[in-house]
Amino acid sequence: MAYDDNNIFARILRGEIPCTRLYEDEFALAFPDIHPQAPTHILVIPKGKYISAADFNAKASAEELVGFYRAVSAVAKQAAVEESGYRLICNAGPHSHQDVPHYHIHILGGRPLGHLLGPPL
Q: Which is nearer to ligand 5GP, 95 or 97 (CB)?
A: 97
Q: Which of 41, 102, 104, 106 is catalytic?
A: 104
- Closest distance of CB 18 from ligand 5GP, Å: 8
Residues in the chain: 121
95 is catalytic: no
In terms of CB distance, is 21 or 63 closer to ligand 5GP?
Answer: 21
Q: For the CB of residue 59, give the shortest distance to ligand 5GP in the complex, in Å.
A: 19
Question: Which residues form the interface with ligand 5GP (CB under 6 A)?
Answer: 8, 17, 19, 31-35, 43, 91, 97-100
- What distances in angstroms separate CA 42 from CA 7, 60, 97, one per listed residue? 18, 22, 17
SS (H, E, C) the chain: CCCCCCCHHHHHHCCCCCCCCCEECCCEEEEECCCCCCCEEEEEEECCCCCCHHHHHHHCCHHHHHHHHHHHHHHHHHCCCCCCCEEEECCCCHHHCCCCCCCCEEEEECCCCCCCCCCCC
Q: How far is the CB of 94 from ligand 5GP (least distance, A)?
A: 11
Give whichever of 83 and 99 is closer to ligand 5GP, judged by the CB atom.
99
Residues designated catalytic: 104
